[in-house]
Amino acid sequence: MGKKPYESPTIIKIESSMSKAGLPSMQQKIRKDIDGVDIHALSDEYGSPLFVFSEQKMRKLYKEAYEAFSSRYPNVQFGWSYKTNYLQAICSVFHQEGAIAEVVSEFEYEKARKFGIEGKDIIYNGPYKPYDSLKTAASEGAKIHIDTFDEISDLEKVADELGMTIPVAIRLNMDIGIEPQWSRFGFNIESGQAMDAVRRIEAGGKLDLNGLHSHIGTFMLDTNAYKMQTTKMVLLMKEIEAHTDYIITYLDVGGGFASKAHLKGIYQPPEVVVPSIDDYAEAITSALYEHLEHGNYPRLYLETGRHLIDEAGYLITTMTGTKRLPDGRRNYIMDAGVNLLYTAFWFKYDLELTERQDGMMEPALVNGPLCMNIDVIDESVMLPRLKRGSKMVISPVGAYSVTQWMQFIRYRPSVVLIDMQGQTHLIRETEELHDVEARERLPEYLQHE
Amino acid sequence: MSKPESGCQSTFNMNSATMKSYFTAVISSYAEILFLQNPRYGLALLLISFINVNTTLSGLIAVFTVLAFAYFIRMEVEFLQNGFYIYNPLLVGMSIGYIFEVTAVSALLIMMAAIFTFLLTIVLYHLFLKASIPILSLPFTLVSTLIYLASLNYTSLYTQALYIKPAFVDLTFLPVILSMYLKAMGTILFLPYSGVGLLFVIGILSYSRIMFLLSIAGFYVGVFVHSMMLGSWHLALSNPYTFNYILIAIALGAIFLVPSIRSILIAMIGVAMSVLFIDASASFWAIYKIPVFTLPFNVIVISFLFVLQSVRFREFAYDIKKTPELTLRSYILSFFRFRLGDINLFLPFSGKWSVYQAFDGEWTHQGEWRYAYDFVIMKDGESFKGEGNHLEDYFAYKKPVLSPVSGYVLDLKDSVEDNLIGHVNTIENWGNYIIIQSQLGHFIEISHLARASIKVKKGDYVEAGQILGLCGNSGYSPQPHIHIQVQESVLLGSKTLPFQFVSYIEDDHVQFYDDPPEKREVESYFNDKSLDKRLSFTLDSRYSYDVYHGEKIIDTFELKVKMNRFSGRFYFEDQKGNRLHLAKEAGMFYLYDYEGKDESWLQKIYIAIPRIPLVYRKGLTWNDYLPARYALRTHLTYLLSIGAIAFPRAYITKGKWQFKDEQRIEGVLFSHPEQKVAVGLDQSNGIDYIEVQEHIIRMRR
Ligand SMILES: Cc1ncc(COP(=O)(O)O)c(C=O)c1O
């Protein structure tokens, strides 16, 4: 047994049983496995850090969400929001469950097409859609959601070029009583801009307006906002149908349903503040029933991203070094940081240990491996003293992490999927030097002999 | 007033189209006597009937009198066109001409009789309409009897009474057993000659094999029964009223009832009964020297139809087509395609629910209340999560209850407490309920709604699919569920009636008009607005198509959307006049009743896509049925349609269709060999392309 390195003692004020964040903090949180697969076995086999996704959880969340809506409204279709997580295996699970694709760029569009998703099953959103990709999307029958007046002009040109009438929807923004209002996307309803856009499309005569879309934000905790959004969309639909020949066959209310994640600045636990999927469904469908004229149901599209994947994603990370900071806090350096967890700026994650540690809980600052000040996973969390090499599981990290991660300083790690039977599948390999340099070109005169 | 009254003017301005209509009316009325709905056959009959100039002349006098009269009272031409209103006057005219020579006096008699018959026809028609019973030639029988009775006093007519018999039209070389049948046939048009009868028989044979077979069966069964009674085959054969057997057999066996084994048996019972009638009435009528005419036929057929209609006889022909073959085809197709049940509901909820109790359910669907359905939501074999001790644990609790029909809310209750789990309310056992009267008049009751959840008021008009309230646990309900029934009256708890669900999804397959068995999980749907829009065909819109064989355009055609102004039915019509009816109801768009030439492009469209459910799910499948001959492309149609009387299934071809994506539908017709078809829906409106047999039909832009 080696001698313990000396560390000077410190006095720690033990606070009440609740931390500032309102979480019970004096208890060690332990997670030994994900869907029955041992954490250590996972990192032994696939390395650390390691993203792990649970197919079981994904399917469960999808089914719950679909049923919450379909048991209330008979014409519902989910579109998997690619940007939330576009690993092929992940998209595949949601497509298998019946979701179509929601994309916001030509890159995502190509990805969906390569995946075998037909144009008709792609919702094409986004404030910038290059002309060529609009043309491809139109010819393949995608659901194009127009964001600007310029895009109307572009599409009319495409319509002429292709010699066809293009079915389109417009994106809307509106006052739904929450701040900040996402007013930079689409056409504003209250100012009359949305109706202007409709008139503009009508005057052109080359597009067939058949849908309305809006996305009011992400991680929306207020179900009432959806109720207002849906109401305003239905009212606009009625106005359009009353004043033009267009028939609005679908309403797309976007995404934004919260996951059980802990937003910084909110002091109650997610179990308390995050509405259930049934609450969201109730808000949206009750608004539909209240304002729709009956007989025919417009299809209701949902572009739910975060809610379906966030809680299915975990990041296994290893403690690589520790020291004490001048303010007395313990500091741990992990092998994963904000390079992999871009969302750390907004969310306070659940940090779980894989085995119970002896010793007192103490405040700790958990950092990533980057040589930058901002590389903070958690600036204040109560942890027992960790041994070097011990593992930590960070969750929920399923949403936006593996799309917004950076190849910065370090390689991006492997991603593993645990299937319904508890088998693991490597769905993305750890990067190598070649992956990073593959697209580089070194001018000849700079090459060394 | 300076404005000319142009509207009035035109009424008295008979144009050539109107003349043509009147002409059609005349010849149609001839055809009608032999149940033939084809003016060309009428023309042939008219020409043949000139063998006896006198009867024909008086028949025509009657008809033209009626037409002049109809014109005089400004009756619409369309009403007269099919010959229905004038065939009774025609018969009356002929019956007078049969015994009296046409003179100025008898012509006057004919004219009076004709107008009277016309009036009586319309009066009886409206009286009988309520019971949906045809009047047949009842006006003729009544008026002719009247005229014959009256004319006993008109001695001036009798002196010129006429007994001519053109000899050459009797086929004396035929055995009597055959010639009597032919003669009976001729007698129907007052031409009791076997030669004429033969021509009629040939006409009937070419028009409908079923009618031909029934005429033979009817005649000989009648004669056989009669001969048993009389003890003389010969007497029975030579009875002058045997034509009644033929009329009864055809009317009951093929026209007013759908041809089937059962209908034919009924027809033969009718024929047998008519023997008594003929003998009895002949004895009685003979006292006054008047013929029995078609009285046996009228009384027997009308009595049968009255009773069969009131017992809702399944083969009662509500939709009589041009020929019995067509009636049968349409009946068989409707039977397989639409199941013919008349109370149809949508499922009263959204999403997937399971049948907890169906008709005759063992717990509460018993006795007077046997026709009811209970639905719950099940996941992994349970209707609740957790322990199931709380209402909130139940998946069905507080889920929307949607209206199963369009209609008026007649009654409701909203104040009964929801029972705690494990308790039931035996006093207010229906709990919170809604009773809706559908547009067709049926009373639909839904029970056990959540307290204070009902979102409609008494007297409100609700549409199918509209939210009514939320599922609850009030009344005699051990766990939250939806109870639905159709009942005899608006009174709570009145006797229940059987019904079926129009369209729903089960295992990614759309079922039409069915009653799902217990434990089955079914998913409701209501019209999707997008499919609804794409399959909206507005009146007078036109669609042009090119037909490709490989790369080559081999034909082009145009479809126009039209509406029959009497029935309100929509149809596509091509330039050749072929018609294909279309409808959008009960959660589907469907094509039906093709009228026209075989192998037309319009018929191919029908084959390729007889119906489309108005709901889209990728991979969703559904079945439908087509007339076998369309799919088989065979000309053995005679055999097929006769065989169909006994084996309806042989007459249809089943097909299965599937949504490949939102715009492409692929199908297989289970003919021998199987055929693949595909349909592309346009993104905005209409059918973009059809792939059928070796052709591709593409919309031209
Ligand atoms: C247009 C659009 N749809 C859907 C989403 C998905 O949202 P979420 O992941 O919050 O459900 C986003 C995310 O920003 C979006 O911009």
Quick one: closest CA in A to B525, which residue?
A: A74
Residue B10 has pLDDT above 50, yes or no: no
The enclosing H or E element of A361 equals strand A361-367
Mean pLDDT of A278-290: 95
- The per-residue pLDDT for A22 is 46
Output b/e per residue, B206-232; b: 16+ Cβ within 10 A. ebbbbbbbbbebbbbbbbbbbbeeeee
- The per-residue pLDDT for B163 is 54
Q: Which residues of B touch A64 (CB under 8 A)?
A: none
Q: Among residues B319, B464, B328, B477, which one has the least CA distance to residue B396?
A: B477
Q: Is residue B331 part of a domain?
A: no
DSSP labels, A309-320: HGGGEEEEEEEE
Question: Domain ends where: B164, B183, B213?
Answer: B164
Q: Which residues of A touch B684 (CB under 8 A)?
A: 165, 167, 208, 210
Between the CA of A414 and the centroid of ligand 1 the distance, in Å, is 25
**Residue B193 shares a structural domain with residue B306:** yes
Quick one: closest CA in B to A165, which residue?
A: B684
Residue nearest to atom 1 of ligand 1 (CA): A215
* Ligand 1 atom nearest to CA at A303: 4
Surface-to-core class of residue A124, CB atoms within 10 Å of its CB (0-12 exposed, 13-18 middle, 19+ buried): buried
Residue B4 has pLDDT above 60, yes or no: no
**SS3 (DSSP) at B323:** coil
User: Would an 8 Å CB–CB cutoff place A9 in contact with chain B?
Assistant: no
- Within 10 angstroms of residue A189's Cβ, the number of other Cβ atoms is 22
Surface-to-core class of residue B561, CB atoms within 10 Å of its CB (0-12 exposed, 13-18 middle, 19+ buried): middle
Mean pLDDT of A376-394: 94
Task: Identify residue B168 by its one-letter amino acid code.
Answer: F
Residue B626 and residue B654: Cα distance in Å, rounded? 6
User: Would an 8 Å CB–CB cutoff place A62 in contact with chain B?
Assistant: no
Quick one: closest CA in B to A292, which residue?
A: B466
- Within 10 angstroms of residue A245's Cβ, the number of other Cβ atoms is 9
Residue B94 has pLDDT above 70, yes or no: yes
- B380: its two tokens: 């992994």
User: CA of B538, closest CA in chain A: separation in Å?
Assistant: 13
Residue with token string 């979480």: A23
Quick one: closest CA in B to A281, which residue?
A: B399
Q: What angle do CA A425, A429, A430 make, to 5 degrees?
A: 135
* Ligand 1 atom nearest to CA at A84: 9
Q: Range of B375's domain?
A: 344-498
**Residue B159 shares a structural domain with residue B173:** no
Residue B229 and residue B208: Cα distance in Å, rounded? 32
The enclosing H or E element of B554 equals strand B552-563
Q: Which of residues 190-209 of A touch B (CB under 8 A)?
A: 208
Query: Taking chain B, what is the end-to-end CA distance rounded to the nearest angstrom?
Result: 50
**Residue B143 shares a structural domain with residue B170:** no
- Domains in chain B: how many in total? 4
Q: Decide if B663 and A141 are in contact by the 8 Å CB cutoff.
A: yes
**Residue B584 shares a structural domain with residue B643:** yes
Residue A136 and residue A158: Cα distance in Å, rounded? 9
Helix extents (H) in A84-173: 88-97, 106-114, 131-139, 149-162
Q: Decide if B530 and A299 are in contact by the 8 Å CB cutoff.
A: yes
Window from A108-117, A253-262, B27-36, B195-204 with minimum mean pLDDT? B27-36
The DSSP bridge partners found for residue B361 are: none
Residue nearest to atom 12 of ligand 1 (CA): A255
- The per-residue pLDDT for B83 is 66
- The per-residue pLDDT for A395 is 95
- The per-residue pLDDT for B632 is 66
- The per-residue pLDDT for B565 is 84
Q: Which residues of A touch B466 (CB under 8 A)?
A: 289, 294
Q: Is residue B332 part of a domain?
A: no
Quick one: closest CA in B to A60, which residue?
A: B379
- The per-residue pLDDT for B307 is 94
Comparing CB atoms, the residue among B467, B527, B662 nearest residue A296 is B527
Mean pLDDT of A419-448: 95
Question: Domain ends where: B318, B352, B377?
Answer: B318
Beta strands in B467-515 (DSSP E): 467-470, 482-487, 496-497, 500-506, 509-514
- The per-residue pLDDT for B106 is 87
**Residue B482 shares a structural domain with residue B535:** no
Biggest distance spanned by C-alpha atoms of chain A: 84
Residue A21 has pLDDT above 50, yes or no: no
The enclosing H or E element of A207 equals strand A207-214
Mean pLDDT of B53-71: 91
Q: Decide if A70 and B352 are in contact by the 8 Å CB cutoff.
A: yes
Q: Which residues of B touch A160 (CB under 8 A)?
A: none
Between the CA of A304 and the centroid of ligand 1 the distance, in Å, is 6
- Domains in chain A, CATH or no CATH each: 33-52+312-432 (2.40.37.10), 86-304 (3.20.20.10)
Q: Is residue B330 part of a domain?
A: no
Residue B54 and residue A60: Cα distance in Å, rounded? 88
**SS3 (DSSP) at B11:** helix
Q: Pick the residue with more confidence: A69 or A4?
A: A69
Mean pLDDT of B492-517: 94
Q: Is residue B334 part of a domain?
A: no
Instruction: Tell me if A334 sits within 8 A of A318, measured CB to CB.
Output: yes
Q: Per residue in B558-603, pLDDT tens?
A: 999 999 988 889 999 999 999 999 999 888 999 998 988 888 999 9
**Residue B465 shares a structural domain with residue B561:** no
Mean pLDDT of A419-444: 96
* Ligand 1 atom nearest to CA at A145: 1
Quick one: closest CA in A to B618, which residue?
A: A98
**Residue B655 shares a structural domain with residue B550:** yes
The DSSP bridge partners found for residue A287 are: none
Window from A120-124, A128-132, B13-17, B622-626 with minimum mean pLDDT? B13-17
Between the CA of A306 and the centroid of ligand 1 the distance, in Å, is 8
Q: Pick the residue with more confidence: A235 or B87?
A: A235
- The per-residue pLDDT for A296 is 72
**Residue B16 shares a structural domain with residue B43:** yes
Residue B12 and residue B15: Cα distance in Å, rounded? 9
Residue A23 has pLDDT above 70, yes or no: no
Q: Per residue in B286-340, pLDDT tens?
A: 777 777 888 999 999 999 999 998 888 889 998 888 899 889 988 888 888 988 7
Q: Which residues of B touch A250 (CB under 8 A)?
A: 529-530
User: Would an 8 Å CB–CB cutoff place A425 in contact with chain B?
Assistant: no
State residue B264 phi and psi, 5-degree precision.
Answer: -65, -40
Residue nearest to atom 10 of ligand 1 (CA): A256
Q: Is residue B267 part of a domain?
A: yes
Mean residue pLDDT of chain A comes to 92
Q: Per residue in A227-251, pLDDT tens?
A: 999 999 999 999 999 999 999 999 9
Comparing CB atoms, the residue among B523, B529, B684 nearest residue A297 is B529
Q: Which of residues 375-404 of B touch A (CB under 8 A)?
A: 377, 379, 395, 399-400, 402
**Residue B493 shares a structural domain with residue B546:** no
Q: Per residue in A322-337, pLDDT tens?
A: 999 988 889 999 999 9
- The per-residue pLDDT for A182 is 76
Comparing CB atoms, the residue among B399, B527, B533 nearest residue A297 is B527
Ligand 1 pocket list (CB less than 6 A) = A 81, 84, 102, 125, 215, 218, 254-257, 303-307, 399
User: Would an 8 Å CB–CB cutoff place B436 in contact with chain A?
Assistant: no
| Contacts A–B by Cβ distance under 8 A | 95
Q: Pick the residue with more confidence: B74 or A435?
A: A435
Which CATH number belongs to the domain containing residue B253 in this structure? 1.10.3430.10
Instruction: Tell me if B657 sits within 8 A of B666, measured CB to CB.
Output: yes
C-alpha B506: how far from chain center: 30
Interstrand relation of A33-34 and A37-38 (parallel, antiparallel or unpaired) = antiparallel
**Residue B396 shares a structural domain with residue B274:** no
Window from A380-394, B208-222, B647-661 with minimum mean pLDDT? B647-661
Q: Is residue B524 part of a domain?
A: no
Q: Among residues A195, A174, A399, A235, which one has the least CA distance to residue A303?
A: A399
Mean pLDDT of A215-237: 95
The DSSP bridge partners found for residue B563 are: B570
Mean residue pLDDT of chain B comes to 89
User: Would an 8 Å CB–CB cutoff place A289 in contact with chain B?
Assistant: yes
User: Would an 8 Å CB–CB cutoff place A82 in contact with chain B?
Assistant: no
Instruction: Tell me if B434 sits within 8 A of B460, measured CB to CB.
Output: no
Residue A18 has pLDDT above 50, yes or no: no
**Residue B157 shares a structural domain with residue B171:** no
Q: Per residue in A83-107, pLDDT tens?
A: 999 999 999 999 999 999 999 999 9
Model confidence band, residue A1 (pLDDT cutoffs 50, 70, 90): very low
Interstrand relation of A100-103 and A122-124 (parallel, antiparallel or unpaired) = parallel
Query: Residue B383 to residues B353, B354, B372, B391: CA-CA distances in angstroms?
Result: 10, 9, 20, 11
Q: Which residues of B touch A208 (CB under 8 A)?
A: 683-684
Query: Residue B612 to residues B288, B662, B681, B692: CA-CA distances in angstroms?
Result: 64, 12, 11, 16
The DSSP bridge partners found for residue A207 are: A166
* Ligand 1 atom nearest to CA at A219: 10
Residue B3 has pLDDT above 50, yes or no: no
- The per-residue pLDDT for B53 is 87
**SS3 (DSSP) at B501:** strand
User: Would an 8 Å CB–CB cutoff place A47 in contact with chain B?
Assistant: no
Between the CA of A305 and the centroid of ligand 1 the distance, in Å, is 6
- B698: its two tokens: 């593409």
Q: Is residue B627 part of a domain?
A: yes
Instruction: Tell me if A380 sits within 8 A of A329, measured CB to CB.
Output: yes
Q: Decide if A249 and B352 are in contact by the 8 Å CB cutoff.
A: no
* Ligand 1 atom nearest to CA at A256: 10
Q: Is residue B519 part of a domain?
A: no
**Residue B142 shares a structural domain with residue B281:** no
Q: Among residues B502, B491, B340, which one has the least CA distance to residue B405?
A: B502
- Within 10 angstroms of residue B51's Cβ, the number of other Cβ atoms is 18
- The per-residue pLDDT for B636 is 64
Query: Residue B390 to residues A24, B471, B565: CA-CA distances in angstroms?
Result: 29, 15, 58
Question: Domain ends where: B131, B164, B197?
Answer: B164
- The per-residue pLDDT for A11 is 61
- The per-residue pLDDT for B474 is 96
Q: Per residue in A157-177, pLDDT tens?
A: 999 999 999 999 999 999 998
Q: Pick the residue with more confidence: B5 or A402?
A: A402
- B37: its two tokens: 């709905």
Which CATH number belongs to the domain containing residue B419 in this structure? 2.70.70.10
For a mutational test of ligand 1's pocket, the pick from A102, A218, A404, i.e. the residue with the most ligand atoms closer than 8 A to its C-beta, is A218
User: Would an 8 Å CB–CB cutoff place B584 in contact with chain A?
Assistant: no
The enclosing H or E element of A197 equals helix A193-204
